[in-house]
Amino acid sequence: MNDASPSLRSPLHERVIGVPLGAPPSPPEPDLKLDPKLRRLHLNESPLPPSPRVIEAVTAAARDGAYYPDFACTALADRLSRMTGVSKDVMTFGNGSGDLLIAATLATVGPGDEAVMATPTFVTCGRGVVLTGAKKIEVPVRDDGVTDMDAMIAAITPRTRLVYMCSPNNPTGGPSSREELQALAKAVPEDVVLLIDEAYFEFGRFAGGVDALDIVRERKGAWIITRTLSKAYSLAGFRVGYSYSSDKSIAEALAKSRPSFIVGRIALAAACAAVDDRDYHEKIVRTVSQERDRLAGGFRQLGFNVLPSATNFIMAIPAAKPAAAFASALAAKGLLAQAMPWRGPNGALRMSIGTAADSDAVLETVREELAKA
């Protein structure tokens, strides 16, 4: 039986058929309110609430909710420009960085073109490539979950128009080194756009990682870097992402690929307040990073292979049982984790970092599951 509407007969519809929807929150919001103990450790949310300054700013901004927001997000652009030295005219803002990844594919590739990317990696860019009619060229990551840069470079052909990489990589967690990023930036032809997704940039930097901006600024060809305030600023529900581009024309192309006023007034106020509160932001990154390392250590003691991570999540590969068995046991106790088919016969258990109490409950549940016959 074909569930598609008879009115959907365009080439775009034919491409959309095979594109999965983004994973919705599970269970839905009303159930969350009924069960406050439920922990969504499958969505990479922050265990800490937004800064108190954010709450104050949101309350004040609500009074002006009858007015459209600033399309250029000038107040936030000013702050980011001071932080990075990047000119405001090469910044673009969106409803989360995923919004900008889709815009980047719309602006750079089309039917007959190729886009090189790792697998597994963040799915949104690949989804955008499929929507444009271009072809995804997927390059397996290394066994440690880090992008295989040599293989990525080797996959570039005369049809390549876009090279996408995520560092630290999602869903595996590993960051690329300075040398690897430099090699990629040098190898990608000047007429090909290099798109680097740094959604976990702040966690990567805390772990001693590199700032891709320092590297791509030396590149002669076109580039885009996407970042978000969802993770390290506890603003996932506000949906604010941004990008830096190599020149104004690319930033304008991204902006033209999005609807008007896509970042709301309240979200913009929250973003500005969160960026201003540096102490609280650093507390989020430090707290989550330390708890990540503690949780990873607990899994290793239980016999799991935990991939290196410089994010707010870990990927733990079980030796004894399928990851799905652990995910089911955790879900029965209100701890939602994601079982993934990569890699090996048992797959992997991927979860974001919650509170210390969440970590303790996770490890205890996994220990109980391992003890079963």
Hey, where are the domains in the chain? Answer: 23-48+279-371, 52-276
User: How many CA within 13 A on the CB side of residue 288?
Assistant: 33
Q: pLDDT, tens digit, for every residue of 231-246?
A: 999 999 999 999 999 9
Fold of 23-48+279-371: Aspartate Aminotransferase, domain 1 (3.90.1150)
Quote the mean pLDDT of the chain. Answer: 91
Quote the distance between the C-alpha of residue 334 and its chain's center: 24
Q: What Cα–Cα distance (Å) separates residue 290 from each residue in 35, 67, 238, 355?
A: 27, 42, 25, 11
Q: Where does 52-276 sit in CATH, by number?
A: 3.40.640.10
Cis preceding linkage at 168, omega within 30 = yes
For the cut 80, the answer to whether the pLDDT of residue 204 exceeds it is yes
Contacts of 240 (CB under 8 A, 6+ apart): 76, 93, 95, 96, 228, 229, 230, 263, 267, 268, 270, 271
173: left (phi over 0), alpha (psi -120 to 50) or beta: left
For the cut 70, the answer to whether the pLDDT of residue 8 exceeds it is no
Average pLDDT over residues 9-25: 52
State both tokens at 230. Answer: 């969802």
Q: What Cα–Cα distance (Å) separates residue 72 from each residue in 77, 91, 93?
A: 8, 9, 8
Residue whose token pair is 């009858």: 66
> Of 203, 204, 187, 185, which is closest to residue 195 (Cα–Cα)?
185
Q: pLDDT, tens digit, for every residue of 141-168?
A: 999 999 999 999 999 999 999 999 999 9
* pLDDT given at position 10: 45
Read off the pLDDT band of 38 (50, 70, 90): confident
* pLDDT given at position 259: 82
Q: pLDDT, tens digit, for every residue of 321-361?
A: 999 999 999 999 999 999 999 888 999 999 999 999 999 99
Which is more confident, 51 or 13?
Answer: 51
Q: pLDDT, tens digit, for every residue of 271-317?
A: 999 999 999 999 999 999 999 999 999 999 999 999 999 999 999 99
State both tokens at 323. Answer: 């990851």
**Percentage of residues in the chain with pLDDT exceeding 90?**
85
